[in-house]
Amino acid sequence: MPTHVDHEMTLTEVADLSRLRSVLHTWAVDHHFAGEPADDLVVAAVEVTANGLRHGEPPVRVRA
């Protein structure tokens, strides 16, 4: 695991996905991801997180 992360979020319910989407989009732009790659990153991370919340055992931790 990386020793430094800009964001570490623990999500416990599907309602948290909106906040995750916003934080990750800002993070991707701040790290110079172009438009489509930034969108792809956000969609993929939110989908994996949503699956963890719905089909796994919350909480789900996301680090960026």
Can you give the C-alpha Rg of the chain in angstroms? 12
Average pLDDT, integer, range 16-31: 94
Higher pLDDT, 5 or 9: 9
Average pLDDT, integer, range 15-20: 95
Give the predicted TM-score (pTM) of the model. Answer: 0.84
> Nearest CA to 52 among 63, 62, 39, 43?
62
Percent of the chain scored above 90 by pLDDT?
Answer: 78
